[in-house]
């Protein structure tokens, strides 16, 4: 993790972290951006979130938008029809049940439509600065298994295993470091092991073919 911390220094932040920084960690915007980010490129998430927040910045304002309007604003994020319904329903629940605020516990976050453990953990870490959560997405799941930190089949299994196999002080950083690394170096196919700072430590479990070295401009 120390090697990764040095390696990602100066690299572009993932979309949710970027939105969080620009919006002073507004939990509502972190929640909505995370909902939009599933299976979507960072640049698309960022652009869609920006368009949506320009029109409605609070749960109350966003709950008043029609699903069709939300669809138009967030397109072309993947599953935009589905996500628009979740955004509207989530905003309604935030207004009616949580007085327009994003709840601060895993249990409460999981009642929101479209919010699973990944989204809830990211909101708790990024918006509420939790030190006790690990957010596992596809990058964290893949890289943790390649590194041999865990041997798991699903992201939820990976999350639970990582609590056992990693030092607590790193929990809030695992997502940021591994997502940033997974987007550039430890990619799903053809990971760039030849250029990876973790190469001397990594057993590369499950890796069958490695990719070319990155262009100087990629870093």
Q: Does 69 bind ligand SF4 (CB under 6 A)?
A: no
Nearest to 68 by CA among 84, 57, 55: 84
CB of 14 to ligand SF4, least distance (A): 17
Q: Does 179 bind ligand SF4 (CB under 6 A)?
A: no
Cα gap 89→84, rounded to integer Å? 9
Check whether the bond before 76 is cis (ω within 30° of 0).
yes
CB of 153 to ligand SF4, least distance (A): 18
Nearest to 19 by CA among 103, 119, 93, 127: 127
Binders of ligand SF4 among 142-171, rule CB under 6 A? 143, 146-147
CB of 179 to ligand SF4, least distance (A): 13
Q: Which residues of 182-193 are buried (b: 16+ CB within 10 A; e: fewer)?
A: bebbbeeeebbb
Q: Which is nearer to ligand SF4, 88 or 192 (CB)?
A: 192
Site stretch for ligand SF4 (CB under 6 A), options 14-22, 85-93, 149-157, 196-204 = 196-204
Are the C-beta atoms of 55 and 73 separated by less than 8 Å?
A: yes
Cα gap 198→111, rounded to integer Å? 38
Q: What stretches of the chain adopt beta strand conformation (E)?
A: none
Q: How many CB atoms are closer than 10 A to CB 56?
A: 19
Q: Does 140 bind ligand SF4 (CB under 6 A)?
A: no
Q: Active site residue: 118, 129, 156, 218, which one? A: 118
Examine the residue annotation and report whether 118 is marked as an active-site residue of this protein: yes
Examine the residue annotation and report whether 218 is marked as an active-site residue of this protein: no
Q: Does 139 bind ligand SF4 (CB under 6 A)?
A: no
Kind plus residue range of the DSSP H or E element containing 184: helix 171-184
Query: CB-based burial of residue 42 (10 Å sphere; 0-12 exposed, 13-18 middle, 19+ buried)?
Result: middle
Q: Which is nearer to ligand SF4, 167 or 189 (CB)?
A: 189
Q: Which is nearer to ligand SF4, 33 or 196 (CB)?
A: 196
Site stretch for ligand SF4 (CB under 6 A), options 25-33, 38-46, 148-156, 197-205 = 197-205
Q: Does 8 bind ligand SF4 (CB under 6 A)?
A: no
Q: Active site residue: 18, 83, 137, 156, which one? A: 137
Instruction: Supply the residues annotated as catalytic.
Output: 118, 137
Task: Report the interface residues with ligand SF4, using CB under 6 A.
Answer: 143, 146-147, 185-186, 191-193, 196, 198-199, 202, 204, 207
């Amino acid at each position: 993790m120390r090697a990764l911390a040095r390696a990602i220094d100066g690299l572009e932040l993932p979309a949710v972290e970027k939105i969080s920084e620009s919006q002073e960690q507004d939990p509502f915007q972190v929640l909505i951006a995370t909902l939009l980010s599933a299976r979507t490129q960072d640049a698309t998430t960022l652009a869609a979130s920006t368009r949506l927040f320009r029109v409605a910045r609070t749960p109350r304002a966003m709950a008043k938008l029609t699903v069709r309007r939300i669809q138009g604003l967030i397109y072309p994020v993947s599953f935009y029809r589905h996500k628009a319904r979740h955004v509207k329903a989530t905003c309604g629940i935030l207004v009616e049940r949580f007085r327009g605020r994003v709840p601060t516990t895993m249990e409460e976050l999981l009642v929101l439509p479209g919010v699973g453990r990944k989204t809830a953990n990211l909101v708790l870490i990024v918006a509420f600065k939790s030190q006790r959560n690990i957010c596992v997405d596809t990058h964290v799941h893949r890289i943790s298994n390649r590194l041999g930190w865990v041997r798991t089949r699903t992201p939820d299994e990976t999350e639970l295993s990582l609590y056992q196999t990693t030092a607590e002080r790193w929990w809030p950083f695992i997502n940021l470091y591994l997502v940033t690394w997974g987007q550039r170096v430890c990619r799903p196919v053809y990971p760039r092991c030849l250029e990876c700072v973790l190469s001397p430590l990594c057993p590369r479990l499950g890796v069958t073919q490695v990719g070319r070295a990155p262009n100087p401009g990629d870093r």
